[in-house]
């Protein structure tokens, strides 16, 4: 069932301006009845500003009156809200991470010079002017830019970075770096080997500790040290 564009705000308006039951409001807005109860009691975590579903075209006055007259009636959406569609454009980066973009760009330029400015622009979500300034070391903040892995910074995923690097390397005619496949498909054996080594070291440490305790408990104690002042 379609829901209002802003369910909580719509529920707040319906609570304040209609005689609909909490169950009817919860069903129409796609909320739990306890959420509607919290809104009505003004105990919700966030203070909400009501949104009029009549002005939005999601309900009609006749539909509300029909629901008020029959508590078992379920309100029907008059007009579904338009679905938000993202237009093609630059990659969106949260404000908190935008200051990290120059560091990520510098890392790609240093470690993968074969990647073009256009590819970096699409991967990181920045302009070619910024990339060119960092590449030419004419960026206004070049003194504070420190190359950092864009994956670690959260600017892209490892899969996206690998795909861009592989595509750029193929276009430049570069061979991919050789990979160590000695342990490929043998992860369990490697883990088992490491576990055995760890257990062996633990047994050796326990044996050494036990021998040390036995030496201290022996009569006369340790004879390795002779007191020169003792007659």
pLDDT digits (tens, 9 = 90+) for 95-134: 667 788 999 999 999 999 999 999 999 999 889 999 999 9
Residues 203 and 198: their CA atoms lie apart, in Å, by 9
Give mean pLDDT, residues 224-231.
56
Residue 63, in any domain of the structure: yes
* Average pLDDT in the chain: 81
Q: Which two tokens stand for residue 56?
A: 């939005």
Residue 59 lies in domain: 7-69
Q: Report pLDDT digits (tens) over 180-192.
A: 555 455 666 767 7
**3 state SS for 136-161:** CCCCCCHHHCCCCCHHHHCCCCHHHH
The domain boundary, picked from 145, 172, 199, lies at 172
Residue 206, in any domain of the structure: no
Question: Do 52 and 111 share a domain, yes or no?
Answer: no
Q: Give the residue with greater pLDDT, 41 vs 212.
A: 41
The domain boundary, picked from 152, 172, 192, lies at 172
Residue (of 85, 86, 82) closest to 4 by Cα position: 82
Question: Do 57 and 18 share a domain, yes or no?
Answer: yes
Neighbouring CB atoms inside 10 A of 31's CB total: 20
Whether the CB-CB separation of 146 and 100 falls below 8 Å is answered with no
Give the number of domains in the chain: 2
Residue 128, in any domain of the structure: yes
Burial label for 125, CB within 10 Å (0-12, 13-18, 19+), is middle
Whether the CB-CB separation of 36 and 11 falls below 8 Å is answered with yes
The model carries a pTM of: 0.41
Whether the CB-CB separation of 84 and 64 falls below 8 Å is answered with no
Residues 168 and 162: their CA atoms lie apart, in Å, by 10
Percentage of residues in the chain with pLDDT exceeding 70? 76
Residue 225, in any domain of the structure: no
The domain boundary, picked from 156, 172, 188, lies at 172
């Amino acid at each position: 069932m379609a829901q209002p564009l802003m369910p909580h705000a719509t529920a707040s308006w319906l609570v304040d301006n209609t005689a609909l039951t909490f169950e009817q409001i919860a069903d129409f807005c796609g909320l739990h009845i306890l959420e509607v109860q919290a809104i009505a009691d003004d105990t919700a975590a966030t203070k909400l500003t009501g949104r009029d579903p009549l002005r939005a075209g999601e309900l009609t006055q006749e539909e509300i009156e029909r629901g008020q007259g029959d508590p078992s009636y379920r309100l029907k959406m008059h007009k579904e809200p338009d679905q938000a569609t993202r237009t093609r454009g630059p990659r969106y980066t949260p404000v908190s991470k935008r200051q990290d973009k120059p560091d990520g760009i510098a890392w790609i330029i240093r470690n993968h010079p074969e990647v073009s400015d256009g590819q970096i622009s699409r991967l990181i979500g920045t302009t070619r002017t910024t990339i060119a300034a960092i590449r030419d070391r004419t960026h206004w903040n070049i003194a504070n830019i420190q190359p950092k892995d864009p994956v670690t910074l959260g600017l892209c995923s490892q899969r996206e970075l690998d795909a861009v690097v592989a595509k750029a390397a193929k276009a430049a005619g570069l061979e991919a770096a050789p990979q160590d496949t000695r342990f490929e498909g043998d992860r369990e054996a490697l883990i088992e080997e490491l576990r055995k080594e760890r257990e062996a070291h633990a047994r050796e440490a326990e044996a050494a500790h036990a021998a040390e305790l036995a030496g201290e408990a022996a009569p006369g104690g340790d004879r390795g040290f002779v007191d020169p002042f003792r007659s």
